[in-house]
Amino acid sequence: MFLGDQPLRFSLPLLLIQVSIILLLSAAAHHVLRRLGQSRFVTHMLVGILLGPSVLGRNHELRGALFSERGTYILESVSLVALILFLFSMGVKTDMSLLRRPSGRAVAVGLAGSVVPLAITLPVFHMLQPTLPADLRGSSLITELAVRLSLSSFPVIADALAELDLLNSELGRIALTASLITDVTSWFLRACFAAAFLITEAKSPGFTSKILASFVAFVLFVAFVARPAGRYIAYKRTPAGELLSEGSFVVVVIAALLSALVTDVIGFKYMIGPMMLGLALPGGMPIGATMTERLDSFFIALFLPVYMALAGYRTDFSELGHHEEKWCALELFVALCVAGKMVGCIAAGLFFAMPIGEATALALMLNIRGIVEVAAINNWGDTMKATAEHYSTLTLSMVLITAAATPLIKVLYDPTGRFARAKRRTMEGARPNAELRVMACLYTEDHAAPLIDLLEASGANHDFPVSLIVLHVTELVGRAASVLKPHKKSSSSTPSDRIVNAFRHFEQQASPGAVTVSPYVAQSPYSSMHHDVCSLAHSRKANLILLPFHKSSDGARSTANSAVRSANRSVLQYAPCSVAILVDHGLASGSACATASNRNLLQRVALYFLGGPDDREALAYAARMPESGGTSVTVVRFKLRNWVGMGGHDEVRDEEVLQEFWQRYREDERVVYVEKTVEDGEGTASVVRSMSDKFDLLIVGRRGEDRDIEGSALTSGLSEWSECPELGVLGDMLATAEFASKVSILVIQQQATTGGEADQLQ
């Protein structure tokens, strides 16, 4: 530069400045647009339009310096490699098991959403064909456009739903299955049409046989060579639970690039090869997880936005003003496709008795457009099927469709709405000897032992049975679709297998008929993990959800998982039943000994009762514990000195449940009832500190502060230094006290009729 050279005349500086500008503008734009409910696809396309000839590109000097034809050549090539690897990665992460037993709703929505737009658009095209502009009349563009827009792309839908945190929602699962059905069908038909086109262009039978033989050879290679080789790399060469080695990763990436090369060379679209190869390889760990960790998070995240921005860059609005007839005709068929897909999906949803709002949201999900549609438009432009005016019209249409769909989905569909409308199931409202339905959620194997110890102390016997739903939830890695299904034992031992074995052993050790275990596994993003927890609790009619605390300790150090904490908070906010968080301090280390000696570790339990719905729910749970025969329960009732009372419903109900509890156990020497009178929150804390180290487990209600006036006075001043509001005032104090390393704490919340606790969890 100082010697008079112009750096932007050279390829590397130009590439670096182009990528930097696109990524910086995309990050800044998405920071604003995401607040309006817009996806990253819309952001990247708008950035491209901003840089293109319609806005900043009007400055010919700027355009010639940064985005000349010579300057964009390398950028396009690198972004095409990113597209190839993206399609391969999505193929690997696609769960083909969704097609084994798809729900009737998913099949109906997928078929109706594909057939109806075709049935509307193609007849209209043939009716209007004589009156259309010449470049549309004699072209196959409208037919290919109708086929493309009548289908839903699985990679696009999966990516959009992940951004919306709807992957594991009820509608999200239906949309993913429906899009996969149509997408697999479309890939097959696309290969057949490409073969048919090449055969019609063939000059001799020998040429035809070469085309068919080449494609069949590629398919056979993928099925009988690449797939077994991929399984060998995944399950034989790679240790369980680990990512691919560097050498294996390089082999897989090279295979993906070569598959695109082969299908392009033999005359088919370059996108077919990577997708077919990806579908043939096993997803999840380790191949899918390795693609996510090493490829998606860097190369694809860096250069895929460039591909979309370049598509937006080629959009030129100035061309549209001179050819109104062309773009109006093209927009008519785009509108017919979108409207037809909406009508088909909504009609299928209503047939299956879906609410009109949810059916509309589902139709919008399947109308979302993204990079696959942009790639198709680019291909039409490269093959001269679409002119510059057609290209600009279609890219702008894809942006507008998605920009309108994503905010409307957020408005129309709240996946937690059905939990808010559901009847709240509580232990307080159940009969004392009714079956207790408990759902135990575990994030890791370490959470099994303390939860089992707690359940052993919960008084399960033939007269007081416990139905236990065990849910092992893990982060979704290496797959595009979330998973929620009953557990099935795998050929090799997995963490889920070991967790289920521990609970099966607990079931067998209990008295006959006392405990029944139903195991499930779930894989989903942490941001929407609560959907699976709440959905399963709702469908299995659970009374209580047991959650492990997000902090754990091995005695030497303490670790915290912020993602688990966020998931726990969301469950507390949206659960259709009561929720309990177990803060384990030292139970896991003794669990093996307890199992071996058939002796319960939690022999001394204390309940601190301050009043209110949460404390009554805690009392209902503690009231079952003496039935175990080996657990003593001490109920400590706190009263405020000189408190006259206001005769409210909560106060009356508090006295009733305490009276019922004492009448039930007054002759039982293992049950102790104590009343403590204090002046304020400081007095409450003093009593708690003096008594707590005498017990193995402390049970408290989470206690929303707005629920009980006397209870608020009993904890006044204790919330000023609250570290974990999800534990409530008293639970947080107990978890951080000096004796906390020896005593475990169970914090219980009785779910309110509405989600009124949401503000306290922020």
Q: Say which DSSP state 236 is in.
A: I
The tally of CA atoms less than 13 A away on the side-chain side of residue 700 is 26
Structure tokens at 339: 């409207």
Integer angstrom CA distances of residue 471 from 368, 435, 758: 32, 19, 24
**Amino acid in the structure at residue 1:** M
pLDDT at 556: 58
Say yes or no to pLDDT of 30 above 90. yes
- Measured N-to-C along each axis, helices 301-313 and 388-412 cross at an angle, to the nearest 10 degrees, of 120
pLDDT at 739: 60
d(CA 340, CA 121): 8
The tally of CA atoms less than 13 A away on the side-chain side of residue 442 is 26
Chain position carrying tokens 């915290």: 560
The tally of CA atoms less than 13 A away on the side-chain side of residue 738 is 5
d(CA 17, CA 309): 14
Determine the average pLDDT of the residues in 360-377: 94
Query: Where does the pLDDT of residue 260 fall: very low under 50, low under 70, confident under 90, or very high at 90 and above?
Result: very high
CB 78 within 8 A of CB 407: no
pLDDT at 758: 41
d(CA 314, CA 140): 22
pLDDT at 321: 63
**Amino acid in the structure at residue 213:** A
Integer angstrom CA distances of residue 48 from 1, 394, 657: 28, 15, 66
CB 734 within 8 A of CB 744: no
Across 35-44, 190-199, 375-384, 603-612, least confident range:
190-199
Q: Who has greater pLDDT, 678 or 439?
A: 439
pLDDT at 328: 86
pLDDT tens, position by position, 117-128: 999 999 999 999
Q: Which of 432, 80, 94 is nearest to 277 (CA)?
A: 94
Say yes or no to pLDDT of 762 above 50. no
pLDDT at 203: 66
Q: Say which DSSP state 579 is in.
A: E
Residues 6+ apart with CB under 8 A from 192: none
CA dihedral of 199, 204, 210, 215, whole degrees rounded to 10: 0
- Print the SS3 string covering 120-141: HHHHHHHHHHHHCCHHHHCCCH
pLDDT tens, position by position, 407-458: 999 999 988 877 777 777 888 878 777 888 999 999 999 899 999 989 988 8
Say what the pTM is: 0.85
Question: Average pLDDT, whole number, for the chain?
Answer: 86
CB 457 within 8 A of CB 697: yes
**How long, in residues, is the chain?**
762
Please state whether 597 falls in left (phi above 0), alpha (psi between -120 and 50) or beta.
Answer: alpha
pLDDT tens, position by position, 15-25: 899 999 999 99
Determine the average pLDDT of the residues in 168-188: 89
pLDDT tens, position by position, 402-414: 999 999 999 999 8
Across 44-58, 608-622, 624-638, 709-723, least confident range:
709-723
Sign of the alpha-carbon dihedral angle for 91, 94, 100, 102 = negative
pLDDT at 554: 63
CB 735 within 8 A of CB 727: yes
Q: Which of 741, 743, 714 is nearest to 730 (CA)?
A: 714
d(CA 535, CA 104): 20
CB 153 within 8 A of CB 176: no
**Amino acid in the structure at residue 306:** V
Q: Who has greater pLDDT, 762 or 481?
A: 481
Scored b (16 or more CB within 10 A) or e, 279-306 reads bbbbbbbbbbbbbbbebbeebbeebbbb
pLDDT at 607: 94
Scored b (16 or more CB within 10 A) or e, 146-172 reads bbbbbbbbbbbbbbbbbbbbbbbbbbb
The contacts found for 250-256 with CB under 8 angstroms, 24 or more apart, are: 252/281, 252/287, 252/290, 252/291, 253/85, 253/295, 255/226, 256/84, 256/85, 256/88
Integer angstrom CA distances of residue 301 from 97, 259, 291, 479: 27, 22, 12, 17
pLDDT tens, position by position, 303-329: 889 999 999 998 888 767 666 777 888
pLDDT at 706: 45
pLDDT at 592: 38
Q: What are the backbone dihedrals phi and psi of residue 526, each rounded to the nearest 5 degrees, phi first?
A: -55, -35
Q: Pick the most confident of 98-102, 331-335, 735-739.
A: 331-335
Residues 6+ apart with CB under 8 A from 72: 18, 310, 313
Query: Where does the pLDDT of residue 692 fall: very low under 50, low under 70, confident under 90, or very high at 90 and above?
Result: confident
Across 100-114, 490-504, 545-559, least confident range:
545-559
pLDDT at 588: 42
List residues bridging with 4 in a β-sheet. Answer: none
pLDDT at 740: 59
Say yes or no to pLDDT of 715 above 70. yes
pLDDT at 211: 78
d(CA 699, CA 427): 15
CA dihedral of 720, 726, 730, 736, whole degrees rounded to 10: -80
Query: Where does the pLDDT of residue 624 fall: very low under 50, low under 70, confident under 90, or very high at 90 and above?
Result: confident
d(CA 637, CA 701): 12
pLDDT at 352: 93
Determine the average pLDDT of the residues in 695-708: 75
d(CA 51, CA 66): 10
Other beta carbons within 10 angstroms of residue 74's beta carbon come to 14
Q: Which of 565, 536, 506 is nearest to 724 (CA)?
A: 565
List residues bridging with 581 in a β-sheet. Answer: 547, 747
Please state whether 176 falls in left (phi above 0), alpha (psi between -120 and 50) or beta.
Answer: alpha
